[in-house]
Amino acid sequence: MQKSYLKNSRMDSVTNNMVPKEETIRFILDYSSALSVIDYKMMKFEALLN
Amino acid sequence: MKQSTSSDALLVSAYMKGNESALAELVTRHKQRIFSFIYSKVYDRDIAEDIFQDTFIKVIKTLKRGAYNEEGKFLPWVMRISHNLVIDHFRRNNRMPKFANNTDFNIFSVLSDSTLNIERQIIKGQVEDDVRRLIEELPDDQKEVLMMRIYKDLSFKEISEQTGVSINTALGRMRYALINLRKVIEKHNIILTN
């Protein structure tokens, strides 16, 4: 009884097995592959190369 | 196999040296904790996906710029970034409250987009072309009055002044122009609706 009152019902919906979608991961990895940072005279430029 | 046992610091270092698979390993290793953390704050799967993605975009930019200096504390650093992005999300939402539709009321039932979609734009263009071609077939005097009234938006008084005919004649020409257009449209079953 005590347990059911102490348990946060909202937390029940958050399982520890939640993972992002595969396409989100793919996007991140593709973004990383495409991004290159170019150093030029103390400055850094980001370039996305597809 | 060697990579899966590498510490985060080693993977971060490898990634900063250009080893892209090190990032994949880091993401795989920590995605569940980071995503669950974000979801536990926002309770919306789509928003959690967005924040997770933005978190790693920041991580990637920082690492590629060589600006990371917290070796050995990769996960707490990423969690801090995601925490800040969650705060940004709530700040943004407070400034611009989100209206969520429910089964009783849908905001799109009262809001509509009056702009034409591409298909309707094309149809509108075709209808206007057809009308223009039909007008070209009218006798010159009728065509002149119709063009001045509809396209140049002149009053019948102005039309009578410019064409040198009486207002009644201009009105009559306009009437016949419309009658003739209707006749041609009906005769050829031309559909002029969008």
Q: What is the pLDDT of residues B146-164, one digit of tens each?
A: 999 988 999 999 999 999 9
- How high is the pLDDT of residue A8? 55
Alpha-carbon distances, residue B12 vs A18, A31, B17, B134 (angstroms)? 24, 17, 9, 71
**What's the mean pLDDT when you consider all of chain B?**
87
| Structure-model confidence comparison of residues B25 and A36, the more confident one | B25
- How high is the pLDDT of residue B2? 45
Tokens found for residue A23: 């396409």
- How high is the pLDDT of residue B58? 95
Q: Tell me if A11 and B20 make a contact (CB, 8 A cut-off).
A: no
Residue B139, Cβ neighbours under 10 Å: how many?
11
Lowest mean pLDDT among B68-82, B92-106, B126-140, B150-164: B92-106
Alpha helices (H) along chain B: 8-16, 20-42, 45-64, 74-95, 118-136, 140-146, 156-163, 167-187
Binning pLDDT at 50, 70 and 90, where does residue A15 land? low
What does the pLDDT average to over B20-26? 94
3-state secondary structure B67-121: CCCCCCCHHHHHHHHHHHHHHHHHHHHHHCCCCCCCCCCCHHHCCCCCCCCHHHH
Please, are residues B36 and A18 in contact by the beta-carbon 8 Å criterion? yes
What does the pLDDT average to over B85-104? 79
CA–CA separation, B13 and B81 (whole Å): 19
Q: A44 phi and psi, to 5 degrees?
A: -120, 130
pLDDT cut 90: percent of chain B above it: 54
Tokens found for residue B26: 């880091």
What is the tens place of the pLDDT at every residue in B120-149?
A: 888 888 888 888 888 988 999 999 999 999
- Residues in chain A whose Cβ is within 8 Å of chain B: 10-11, 13-21, 24-25, 27-29, 31-33, 35-37, 44, 46
pTM greater than 0.90 (yes/no):
no
Taken as a whole, chain A contains a residue count of 50
CA–CA separation, B72 and B174 (whole Å): 84
Q: Which residues of A touch B43 (CB under 8 A)?
A: 10, 13-14
Binning pLDDT at 50, 70 and 90, where does residue B109 land? confident
- To test the contact with chain B by mutation, choose from A8, A16, A18 the residue with the greatest count of B C-beta atoms within 10 A, namely A18
